[in-house]
Amino acid sequence: MSNGPLRKVVFPVAGLGTRFLPATKVVAKEMLPVLDRPLIQYAVDEAVDAGADTLIFVTNRYKHAIADYFDKAYELESKLAQSGKDELLALVQGTLPRHVRCVFVTQPEALGLGHAVLCAKPVVGDEPFGVVLADDLIWNAGAGALRQMAEVAQRENAGVLAVEEVPREQTNKYGIVDAEPVSERAARVRLVVEKPKPEVAPSNLAIVGRYVLPGRIFSLLENTKPGAGGEIQLTDAIGELLKESPVLAYRFEGERFDCGNKLGLVQATLHMALKDPQIAGHTAELVRKLAK
Ligand code: G1P
């Protein structure tokens, strides 16, 4: 994998979000708020923190709200400016730093995560890039998970997958790795399996929604046949990649919330509320009351 900072990050956002129906009939699941910011904002902030200046959204006809959200809101901004609401103006303008550009590519058919990532090929080309799945929200007080991974990828000249241990009975919800530890946080991946049943899973170390991959993955994806669930799986292409170049499983520093389901979204919201100076105290009180 060629050395260099991570400039491009792909956000596959064409999923249906069926776990949040009926809200997701009209609201993209990436636009669901955790406190006052949509999930996609946390994902974008993490990518920018990792050094990205080109964000590639793999989207579909139902997800225009994501493009609108990152677009300049002239009318709103001028009204806020005229009425001197500078703090609100800064919030609205802060969704995307000036040096960062967004590119939208469409995934015409929902053929799987691997297929979604492949749709970004014309924009990414042949350089290392990140993939962020916005429904895995990862919070860390220091460097974001993707920045940690980008540094490892650059230093070790390897692909890097974010992993964490999950309960055995949940292996069928994740890509699962078999990996040999090489340092405190990193392990060399020997095998990856998409959504294995607990009784055949090689471990309980699951890939969560962050990847740093070389451009080479695209040609492997082009030759990837449908796998688990009849979909073109990114995990299967990574299985081919690791036969020719190193791939590391990386236990990131930070806390992950699976906002692809209701409980995870509630946990993330509580977590952020307890960090918000304006409502932390009341939230803590509320949690104590409810626990009685
Ligand atoms: C996808 C990947 C899977 C990974 C998971 C992380 O699955 O295919 O390997 O473990 O994201 O969230 P999905 O959740 O889209 O079914």
**Region 165-180: what's the mean pLDDT?**
97
Taking residues 265-289, report their average pLDDT: 95
Judge whether 21 lies within some domain: yes
SS3 221: helix
Residue 208 Cα to ligand 1 midpoint, Å, equals 7
Q: Kindly state whether residue 279 falls inside one of the protein's structural domains.
A: no
Total number of domains constituting the chain? 1
Asked whether residue 278 is domain-assigned, the answer is: no
CATH number at residue 211: 3.90.550.10
Question: Residues 223-241: pLDDT tens digits?
Answer: 999 999 999 999 999 999 9
186 located within any domain: yes
The 10s digit of each residue's pLDDT in 243-257 is: 999 999 999 999 999
Question: Please, which pLDDT band fits residue 134 given cuts at 50, 70 and 90?
Answer: very high
Is the confidence at residue 170, as pLDDT, over 70? yes
Q: Which of 9-18, 134-143, 259-268 has the lowest mean pLDDT?
A: 9-18
Q: Over 80: is that where the pLDDT of 217 sits?
A: yes
- CB 218, CB 121: distance < 8 Å: yes
Angle at 205 between CA 152 and CA 32, to 5 degrees: 80
Q: Would the pLDDT of 197 be above 70?
A: yes
Give distance in angstroms: CA of 22 to centre of ligand 1: 22
Inform me whether the pLDDT recorded for 3 exceeds 70.
no
Q: Using pLDDT thresholds of 50, 70 and 90, give the confidence band for residue 145.
A: very high
Sequential DSSP letters for 52-110:
--EEEEEE-TT-HHHHHHHS--HHHHHHHHHTT-HHHHHHHHTTS-TT-EEEEEE-SS-
Angle between helix 145-156 and helix 39-49 axes, rounded to 10 deg: 40
Q: State the distance from the centre of ligand 1 to the C-alpha of 290, rounded, in angstroms.
A: 33
Residue 12 in contact with ligand 1 by CB distance below 6 A = no
Measure 36 CA to ligand 1 centroid, in angstroms: 26
Model confidence at 61, pLDDT cuts 50, 70, 90, reads confident
Residue 284 lies in a domain: no
Q: Which atom of ligand 1 is the closest one to the Cα of 229? A: 16
- Is position 291 within any domain? no
pLDDT band at 291 (very low <50, low <70, confident <90, very high): confident
Band (90; pLDDT cuts 50, 70, 90)? very high
207 CB under 6 A from ligand 1?
A: yes
* DSSP label of 120: T
Pocket mutation for ligand 1, best pick of 29, 115, 133 (most atoms within 8 Å of C-beta): 133
Q: Which residues span the domain enclosing 59?
A: 8-260
In a domain, 290, yes or no: no
CB 244 within 8 A of CB 214: no
Kindly indicate the confidence band of residue 4, based on its pLDDT and cuts at 50, 70 and 90. low
Q: Is residue 135 assigned to a domain? A: yes
Determine the pLDDT at residue 1. 52
